[in-house]
Amino acid sequence: MEPSSNMEPIRAVLFDMDGTMFDTEKLWGAVTRALAASYALTWDERVRTQMMGKKDSEALAVFKEYFKCTATVDELVARRRELILTDLSMVAVNPGLYELLDVLEEKGIRKAVATSSFRQLTDALLSQFQLTERFDAIVTGDDVTKSKPDPEIFLEAARRVSIEPSACLVLEDAQNGVEAAANAGMRVFALPHDDSAHHDFSRATRVLGSLLEVPALL
């Protein structure tokens, strides 16, 4: 879908974090496989599509149901959070992030993080890459009650930066996130990677190859 020339100018950009700002998919994959192994479950990669983009309580409810795991969702959440915070060294910043933030600041466009990840991980990664102070708002899965594709997290981020949804652009790597942004009445650029290339991005405004392409489209 091409953006219409009479659309309201973009006044805020809302960033998904995992897979969009940072290359964390290898980390999440390794940790979730380790979680399965700790319960003697045989990993099945197909479950990851269902889990991607959801806050961890809902993602791990999917995990529990898929594998018929006897552990409680709360136990699974606590264990996976413990595992992922152990070592964040394999996380990298995706190409174009710093350059895009520079452009948004030059243009006076507000910026928010809207991630399904939990607060402790979000804060750790933003701090690790000296990004905390570059955002006007940070909304995590701990701050909302519903997961993507529900639009709650994006609507909350728009509220915190005081910008109408119709003037927001969302950057997302996963189908659930693209649908959440569309459900919020926002424009959304999809940024597929190896783990989400097979997702359905038909509701995206555009599908891009990387963050490096975004500045020219603002």
| pLDDT tens per residue across span 141-172 | 999 999 899 999 999 999 999 999 999 999 99
87 in active site: no
pLDDT at 6: 59
102 in active site: no
Amino acid letter, 10: I
**How would residue 188 be classed by pLDDT, with cut points 50, 70 and 90?**
very high
Residues 35 and 59 in one domain: yes
Domain boundary among 65, 85, 105: 85
Give the single-character DSSP code of 90: T
CATH number of the domain enclosing 33: 1.10.150.240
Tell me the two tokens of residue 188.
């959304």
Residue 107 lies in a domain: yes
Residues 46 and 126 in one domain: no
Q: Which domain holds residue 59?
A: 25-85
Question: What is the tens place of the pLDDT at every residue in 113-139?
Answer: 999 999 999 999 999 999 999 999 999
The total of structural domains in the chain comes to: 2
* Average pLDDT score over the chain: 93
Tell me the two tokens of residue 42.
């045989």
pTM for the model: 0.88
Task: Pick the catalytic residue from 16, 56, 143, 195.
Answer: 16
Residues 146 and 65 in one domain: no
Question: What is the tens place of the pLDDT at every residue in 48-69?
Answer: 878 887 888 989 999 999 999 9
Task: Pick the catalytic residue from 18, 23, 56, 150.
Answer: 18
Cis peptide before 149 (omega within 30 of 0): yes
Question: What is the tens place of the pLDDT at every residue in 82-95?
Answer: 999 999 999 999 99
Residues 81 and 134 in one domain: no
**How would residue 7 be classed by pLDDT, with cut points 50, 70 and 90?**
confident
Question: What is the tens place of the pLDDT at every residue in 11-22?
Answer: 999 999 999 999
- % pLDDT > 70, the chain: 97
pLDDT at 138: 98
- When computed from its CA atoms, the radius of gyration of the chain, rounded to whole angstroms, is 17
Amino acid letter, 150: D
Residues 103 and 43 in one domain: no
Residues 151 and 126 in one domain: yes
Residues 79 and 175 in one domain: no
CATH number of the domain enclosing 113: 3.40.50.1000
Backbone angles phi, psi at 209, to 5 degrees: -85, -30
Distance (Å, whole) CA 212 – CA 209:
8
User: What is the rounded average pLDDT of the residues 97-126?
Assistant: 97
Tell me the two tokens of residue 46.
């197909």
User: What is the rounded average pLDDT of the residues 80-107?
Assistant: 96
User: What is the rounded average pLDDT of the residues 94-104?
Assistant: 98
pLDDT at 1: 41
Residue 181 lies in a domain: yes
pLDDT at 2: 45
Distance (Å, whole) CA 42 – CA 67:
8
Residue 117 lies in a domain: yes
**How would residue 180 be classed by pLDDT, with cut points 50, 70 and 90?**
very high
